[in-house]
């Protein structure tokens, strides 16, 4: 039984012939990591489409208007097969291929985070897993035909938070992030032969709308200042967005299955640093 693999593009083959086409999920406000990814991508010449969901879609549409070239926002409930199919069909009508996808979707019910790890019900843990981890698989599968058609190889990037240790209050979202890391590795295994890369960016704590709902976030962000040898600005999503855009680009054409830490170096330190 023989298998067909896609060779890693050479430097010459990886020179884009058209503006990159990107799908970006997870934009809620101008403070979202995904918004900064979109802004940097547009400034580099990319065409982008955003997704929004339900009542929060209005927030996404408002945030989209503050981008350099306000993009369209398409509906996507990440748990809906019908929405996923409709999104893939709409993108296929617009573009012959898709160069990159940002998965920036995560959610855990209130009783699954905040410090009562033992008290969280199975249903809440399952919800956190489905939305925050399993959805990387469903989004990747839906976009795969368009990503395979990318002349430079398609790229999928997800947003992560270091799941190798337990964090205060993060609870079942931390477990979901550990699952996300494993899902990404298996996707990298299966999609690599089809010319599609899958990577994660593990960001340090940032003061986004989502972070505001995590009890103990201030404790975590304060500790980061003592851990990160490069320092860390919880209000600046720029470094994380730059790493995401690198992984979405042909410059990362030989990278897959990677978790790139953009956290000021905190993940590599064993204890707080003397300042």
| Residue 111, domain member (yes or no) | yes
Active site residues: 170, 177
**Higher-scoring residue by pLDDT: 31, 7:** 31
**Higher-scoring residue by pLDDT: 239, 3:** 239
Residue 119 is classified by DSSP as T
Cβ neighbours of residue 37 closer than 8 Å, sequence gap 6 or more: 24, 102, 104, 241, 244, 245
- State the pLDDT at residue 72: 97
> Is residue 111's pLDDT more than 60?
yes
Instruction: Collapse the DSSP code of 89 into the 3-class scheme (helix H, G, I; strand E, B; otherwise coil) and give the result.
Output: helix
How many structural domains compose the chain? Answer: 1
Q: What is the residue range of 89's domain?
A: 21-265
Cα 227 → chain centroid: 24
> Is residue 5's pLDDT more than 50?
yes
228-254 mean pLDDT: 96
- State the pLDDT at residue 218: 76
> Is residue 134's pLDDT more than 70?
yes
- State the pLDDT at residue 222: 79
| Residue 59, domain member (yes or no) | yes
Q: Output the domain CATH number for residue 71.
A: 3.40.50.720
32-54 mean pLDDT: 97
Q: What is the CA radius of gyration of the chain?
A: 18
| Residue 2, domain member (yes or no) | no
| Residue 6, domain member (yes or no) | no
| Residue 270, domain member (yes or no) | no
* Residue pLDDT, tens place only, 67-99: 999 999 999 999 999 999 999 999 999 999 999
- State the pLDDT at residue 153: 94
Q: Where do runs of H (alpha helix) occur along the chain?
A: 33-43, 57-65, 81-94, 122-129, 135-148, 171-191, 217-227, 238-248
- State the pLDDT at residue 11: 46
| Residue 239, domain member (yes or no) | yes
Share of the chain above pLDDT 70, in %: 90
* Residue pLDDT, tens place only, 147-192: 999 998 999 999 999 999 998 889 999 999 999 999 999 999 999 9
Report the mean per-residue pLDDT for the chain. Answer: 92
> Is residue 2's pLDDT more than 50?
no
| Residue 13, domain member (yes or no) | no
Cα 31 → chain centroid: 15
- State the pLDDT at residue 223: 80
> Is residue 17's pLDDT more than 90?
no
| Residue 206, domain member (yes or no) | yes
- State the pLDDT at residue 150: 97
Task: Say if strands 259-262 and 196-203 run parallel, antiparallel, or are unpaired.
Answer: parallel
> Is residue 102's pLDDT more than 60?
yes
Task: Give the span between the Cα atoms of 144 and 190, in whole angstroms.
Answer: 11
Place of tokens 């430097």: 11
- State the pLDDT at residue 215: 65
């Amino acid at each position: 039984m023989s298998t067909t693999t896609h060779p890693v593009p050479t430097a010459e083959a990886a020179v884009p012939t058209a503006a990159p086409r990107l799908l970006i999920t997870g934009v809620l406000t101008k403070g979202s990591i995904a918004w900064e990814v979109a802004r940097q991508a547009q400034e580099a010449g990319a065409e982008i489409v955003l997704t929004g969901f339900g009542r929060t879609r209005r927030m996404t549409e408002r945030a989209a208007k503050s981008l350099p070239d306000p993009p369209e926002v398409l509906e996507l409930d990440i748990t809906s097969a019908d929405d996923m199919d409709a999104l893939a069909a709409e993108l296929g009508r617009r573009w012959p291929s898709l160069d990159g996808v940002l998965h920036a979707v995560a959610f855990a019910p209130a009783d699954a985070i905040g410090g009562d790890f033992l008290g969280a019900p199975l249903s809440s843990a399952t919800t956190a897993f489905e939305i925050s981890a399993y959805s990387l698989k469903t989004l990747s599968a839906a976009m795969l035909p368009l990503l395979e058609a990318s002349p430079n190889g398609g790229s999928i990037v997800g947003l992560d938070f270091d799941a190798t240790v337990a964090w205060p209050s993060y609870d079942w979202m931390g477990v979901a992030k550990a699952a996300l890391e494993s899902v990404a590795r298996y996707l990298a295994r299966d999609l690599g032969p089809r010319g599609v890369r899958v990577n994660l960016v593990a960001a340090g704590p940032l003061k986004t709308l989502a972070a505001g709902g995590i009890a103990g976030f201030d404790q975590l962000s304060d500790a980061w200042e003592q851990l990160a040898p490069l320092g860390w600005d919880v209000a600046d999503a720029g470094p994380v967005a730059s790493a995401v855009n690198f992984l979405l680009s042909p410059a990362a054409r030989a990278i897959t299955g990677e978790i790139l830490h953009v956290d000021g170096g905190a993940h590599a330190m064993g204890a707080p640093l003397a300042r």
